[in-house]
Amino acid sequence: MADLAQVTEHIRGAVGDNSGLGKTVKLDLGDSGKIYIDGASVPNTVTNDDKPADATVSMSWDDFMALSDGKLDPMMAFMQGKLKIAGDMMIAQKLAPLLKR
């Protein structure tokens, strides 16, 4: 099973220098940590900093792993309360392709 550092590195590779997000996003994975995607800077950066973001996606580590493995549908996770979004929901929707493993 992947850990936070491996997942962060994978997302860093998926985001690249210019993800096209144009905004900042924080993945809040509870006690497992946070992943901060700065899609507003060039080049884009991905860190484990806990900074304010345009959108914050909150979910458990296990649900995040199921989502990234394609075992959990993002819309179903949202409807079931497993995935919560604070801030700009449109930015959060652009994340899906970056989170697939």
What is the spatial distance between Cα 57 and Cα 45, in angstroms, rounded to a whole number?
A: 17
pTM for the model? 0.91
Amino acid at 97: P
* pLDDT tens for each residue of the chain, 101 residues long: 689 999 999 999 999 998 888 999 999 999 999 999 999 999 999 999 999 999 999 999 999 999 988 999 988 999 999 999 999 988 877 887 777 66
Q: What are phi and psi of 18, to 5 degrees?
A: -150, 95
Q: How far is CA 77 from CA 2, 28, 84, 96, in A?
A: 21, 15, 9, 13
The DSSP H or E segment spanning 56 is strand 55-58
Q: What angle do CA 45, 68, 7 make, to 5 degrees?
A: 40
Number of domains in the chain: 1
**Contact indicator for 68, 99 with CB cutoff of 8 Å:** yes
**Around Cβ 24, how many Cβ atoms within 10 Å?**
22
Residue 66: domain span: 4-99
What is the CATH number for 80?
3.30.1050.10
